[in-house]
Amino acid sequence: MEWKTHPWGQEKWQAMLERVEQKKARLAELRPIPAVALEKLRESLMVEWTYHSNGIEGNTLTLQETRVVLEDGITVGGKTLREHFETLNHHEALAVLQGMVKEGYRLRAADIMHIHGLVLQRIEKEFAGRYRNAGVRITGANFTPPNALRVDEMMEELIAWVNQKHSLSIIVKATIFHHRMVWIHPFFDGNGRTVRLMFNLLLMSAGYPPAIILQQDRKKYYDALNKANQGNYEKLVLMVLQALERSLDIYLSHLENTHDNFRPISHVVQEMSLPYGHEYLSLLIRQGKIAGYKEGRNWLTTAEAVVAYHQGRKRKRGGEVGLLK
């Protein structure tokens, strides 16, 4: 598999990349952020991150149950001990990861091993922080991971590639790393949770908030990884950009006191005279054509984002722009 060249269509996600960069710049202008406000936002996202990343791997704790386990130390009835340990493990790994974040961070195998060791502590100690020494098969995947004898060498090669200077956006570079490490599948278990932590370490060290893949998008996420196995990174890059924009919007809405601007798209549709329905707007968000993010099962956007999109279409067609009611 050739993974050092990237022939996929950048035009499909370039506009969204530019929008994410603009929002990152807005966030940078707000610094220094008050420590109290920053800590509350960070802790909230850490709970979400643990819930979603474990949920992708099959953990059945709800977001509220995850919060109770982490904040109150309460055992949830009807849930397995392993699910509780997965939650505690991931949260502890996140806390350590936060301490690794720094400008100019260079990826190290020792850091990957350390984080993986924390992800699997309490549940699979014999495999924690160690590369696999035998073959594995992944149910539902369209590939077979490489021979275990090649794992060490391939991980070294990947780490060296990440640490090289590239013309690629760090977002694209981190996304390629994300996929490539999943493809190598260096561990017997805990690969997904570890790679979602490590690729975010790259993003956060570059000044971005974490890109949290939502558990309800699990199928879409696996489909995007399978597409990347075939050399098509378009869907995976879009997913990462959507996740980044969601986190940026959460930070900005709280810090700029504009939280109310983002509302369920059904509410936005009701207030506007433009010919767009709920499904069409959700598609535009998923495609990165308008700003928005997902909360639970609801897609949120702003009237301003929809108007800006409509104005752009009208300019291309030379027509008049519709207005809000």
Catalytic residue, candidates 185, 254, 259, 310: 185
Q: Are 34 and 111 in a shared domain?
A: yes
In this prediction the pTM is 0.83
Q: Are 309 and 239 in a shared domain?
A: no
Which of 220, 238, 255 terminates a domain? The answer is 255
Mean pLDDT value of segment 283-291: 78
Q: Are 49 and 132 in a shared domain?
A: yes
In a domain, 323, yes or no: no
The better pLDDT of the pair 54, 291 is held by 54
Q: Are 213 and 246 in a shared domain?
A: yes
Which of 237, 255, 273 terminates a domain? The answer is 255
Length of the chain: 325
Report the alpha-carbon distance of residue 44 to residue 48 in Å, rounded.
6
Q: Is residue 145 within 8 Å of 132, Cβ to Cβ?
A: no
pLDDT tens digit string along 63-85?
999 999 999 999 999 999 999 99
Q: CATH code at 37?
A: 1.10.3290.10
In a domain, 5, yes or no: no
- What is the residue range of 146's domain? 10-255
Q: Are 228 and 270 in a shared domain?
A: no
Q: Are 166 and 38 in a shared domain?
A: yes
How many domains in the chain? 2
Q: Are 216 and 141 in a shared domain?
A: yes
pLDDT tens digit string along 196-252?
999 999 999 999 999 999 999 999 999 999 999 998 999 999 999 999 999 998 888
Mean pLDDT value of segment 125-144: 86
Sign of CA dihedral 116, 228, 49, 139: negative
Mean pLDDT value of segment 127-154: 89
Q: Catalytic residue at 185?
A: yes
Q: Are 68 and 89 in a shared domain?
A: yes
Q: Are 279 and 184 in a shared domain?
A: no
In a domain, 101, yes or no: yes
Q: Are 305 and 183 in a shared domain?
A: no
Report the alpha-carbon distance of residue 295 to residue 300 in Å, rounded.
7
Report the alpha-carbon distance of residue 325 to residue 323 in Å, rounded.
6
